[in-house]
């Protein structure tokens, strides 16, 4: 985690538009903001180069054949938390890994094709994590909201 980004109002408005539509063209963004297309292009390039902006696609796990979407809560011995998070980040099954405050030390989001693939994950690579105390797995039964725009109030 680094310093807070120094974004001005135009940068924030560009990010807001891209949060709503990651495929918005520089021309359409420029028209909405009343600025030149080259200014939009340069600002997006700068924010991407500085690691302030990432534009990614999202595939719905259920539609793509991964009906078991999960949040897995990891309880890890304190001295092993960061190494465990790094190990989890390297696993192909994980889509989101965060060290947290609260009852769990690490929260991980995964999606699986079957109960067997979830079982194999938990009792295979997860069971080898040094300092693992326990896991708690929650199945995501009905996702009510995904994404969102943090730039709008």
Task: Measure the CA angle with vertex 40, ends 35 and 42; round to 5°.
Answer: 130
Out of 3.60.20.10, 2.20.25.240, 1.10.357.10, 1.10.10.10, which CATH number does the structure's domain 9-49 have? 1.10.10.10
Both tokens assigned to 142: 């009905």
pLDDT by residue (tens digit) across 55-97?
A: 887 777 888 888 999 999 999 999 999 999 999 999 999 999 9
Of 61, 54, 47, 64, nearest in space to 111 by CA? 61
What would the mean pLDDT of 19-38 be, rounded to a whole number? 94
- Residue 143: phi and psi, rounded to 5, are -75, 115
Class (C level, CATH) for 68-139:
alpha beta
What would the mean pLDDT of 126-139 be, rounded to a whole number? 96
Tell me the average pLDDT of the chain.
90
C-alpha span between 111 and 124 (Å, rounded)? 16
Residue ranges of domains in the chain? 9-49, 68-139
**What was the pLDDT predicted at 29?**
96
**What was the pLDDT predicted at 2?**
47
Instruction: Give the number of other Cβ atoms within 10 Å of residue 140's Cβ.
Output: 14
**What was the pLDDT predicted at 117?**
96
The reported pTM is 0.75
C-alpha span between 5 and 1 (Å, rounded)? 11
Rg of the chain over Cα atoms, rounded to whole angstroms, equals 19
Q: Taking 90 as the threshold, does the pLDDT of residue 125 lie above it?
A: yes
Do 9-49 and 68-139 fold alike per CATH? no
């Amino acid at each position: 985690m680094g310093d807070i980004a120094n974004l001005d109002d135009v940068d924030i408005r560009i990010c807001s538009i891209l949060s709503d539509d990651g495929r918005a063209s520089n021309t359409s963004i420029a028209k909405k903001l009343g600025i030149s297309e080259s200014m939009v292009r340069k600002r997006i390039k700068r924010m991407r180069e500085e690691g302030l902006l990432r534009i990614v696609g999202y595939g719905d796990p259920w539609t793509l054949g991964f009906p078991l979407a999960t949040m897995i809560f990891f309880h890890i011995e304190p001295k092993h938390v960061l190494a465990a998070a790094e190990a989890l980040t390297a696993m192909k099954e994980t889509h989101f890994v965060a060290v947290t405050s609260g009852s769990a030390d690490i929260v991980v989001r995964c999606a699986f094709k079957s109960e067997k693939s979830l079982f194999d994950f938990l009792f295979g690579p997860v069971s080898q994590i040094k300092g693992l105390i326990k896991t708690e797995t929650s199945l995501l039964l009905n996702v009510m909201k995904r994404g969102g725009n943090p730039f709008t109030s």
